[in-house]
Structure 1
């Protein structure tokens, strides 16, 4: 059975919208997501704000679910061996919160298929869906870049803009289950 590694932040969880919501709550200023287009993720908000949010208790636990991800990932689980792979070690608070978030929103994913790591260079799969070049660059399988504001200018990978496109790419051509 073919294996898929799926990132969490800005792939399953809408972290960009979450940044904007946190920023508005903290500063009373509503930013449009268009202002983030092409800006590196850590530089999208005033200095230090992204890192501050990522270290705020509850940030990862309350992230909104990316539209369509639950249904498509559930369908992928029927045709592929699916692993959720998140480089979560940099933000220790995220470990428990991400696990709780996955259990709430994706209860069909077994704990055995969740990988929290520091570097995704160790990941071996047939496909990887991720929003960061640093994670896709060294991956040996088929790389799918999930569109996020910070990666809008990347052209080195096959791009998927939403979960409907992931379904078109991977469910229409899924290998037969043995």
Structure 2
């Protein structure tokens, strides 16, 4: 049976590009002490000293230098072989140019016209959306919203979730009708429910 090519939207920050961990790295350098990503229990402000990481998101240099998450480039290349992939990213309007240039630098194979800028992810339509922000997925109009696990979303339930790129690629293979390791899907996607 032939399947149509899936349309997949991937978030940028903390799915493909390091945001919270990079901000904590900068905060650690500034303060001279180590801050661990596991302490970030909410994407935004939490009411403790880790909130100081948010100040770095107000500087152009942050967006010019954000690193890719380990394996992100290889993941995108593999994903583009399986689906029609778009990157959806929300940054302050004054940093949109830097964000596009950074995506081009980190992922040179990725087509420029597949980058979507904007915060209203509820307006996007696709087969699958991969995001670390539960708020983006709960309001999603995509057929299958998938949560990319990070410390700030560990308690989220009632939604399909993946722990890493390999899990997501396995899910995409399954959605594409390809034979895959069903036990891996069952083991890692046991929370998968229709929202």
- TM-score interval w.r.t. the shorter chain? 0.7 to 0.9
Task: Give 1:137's aligned residue.
Answer: 138
* Runs of at least 5 residues in structure 2 that lack an aligned partner in the other structure: 179-195
Determine whether 1:157 maps to 2:159.
yes
* Runs of at least 5 residues in structure 1 that lack an aligned partner in the other structure: none
Give the C-alpha shift of residue 47 in structure 1. 7.2
Query: For 1:35-88, what per-residue CA distance to the aligned partner results, in whole angstroms no more than 9, with x for missing partners?
Result: 22xx21222552752331111121122122112221121121122111101122
Say how many residue pairs are matched: 172
Q: CA RMSD in A?
A: 1.9
Query: Equivalents in 2 of 1:114, 1:131: separation in Å?
Result: 18
Give the C-alpha shift of residue 17 in structure 1. 1.6
Query: Equivalents in 2 of 1:175, 1:86: separation in Å?
Result: 29
Q: Which has more helix, going by share of residues?
A: 2
Native 8 Å contact 1:55 1:93 kept in 2: no
Out of 9, 14, 17, which is 2:13 matched to? 9
Query: Equivalents in 1 of 2:125, 2:175: separation in Å?
Result: 20
Give the C-alpha shift of residue 169 in structure 1. 1.5
**Relative contact order, higher structure (CA 8 A, sep 6+):** 1
The correspondence of residues 66-77 of structure 1 with structure 2, limited to 5 A, is 66-77=69-80
Task: Give 1:64's aligned residue.
Answer: 67
Task: Give 2:81's aligned residue.
Answer: 78
Task: Give 2:99's aligned residue.
Answer: 98
